[in-house]
Amino acid sequence: MTRFKIIPSYIFIGLSALHTIVGFVTHDSLTENALWFFSAGMALFYVGAINLIQIKYPSESLIRRLTILSNLIMTFFVLAFGAYTFQRNVGNLMAWLLIVNALAALVISAGKRT
């Protein structure tokens, strides 16, 4: 079960680096959109880091609660973004992938934490 927690954590961290880089590459200067991309990348990084900390210290109840809370918040955000994207472009494959992956991550996260 630990492998199912480690892999998504590193994926979150990798996506955060990609998201941050793409945000600054696609914008010529420091704009509001570039900062939004950067903040979303940092949110992904923090969720991945919190999950890795919880794997290292599984018996700490505060870390466990923070991990579950951060995963729920990120899941809600991804579902809301996926629903918004789906509403704008019915049948958008990316929206479906966001929704399905967010629900799968929530189920894995909410499973028994050992």
Res. 53 pLDDT band, cuts 50 70 90: very high
Q: What pLDDT is stored for residue 94 in this prediction?
A: 67
Helix (H) or strand (E) holding 113: none
Residue position matching structure tokens 């570039």: 34
In Å, what is the CA distance from 62 to each residue of 11, 45, 47, 50, 112?
Answer: 24, 19, 15, 11, 16
pLDDT in tens, 91-114: 666 667 766 777 777 666 666 554
**Predicted model pTM:** 0.71
In Å, what is the CA distance from 74 to each residue of 79, 89, 114?
Answer: 9, 22, 21
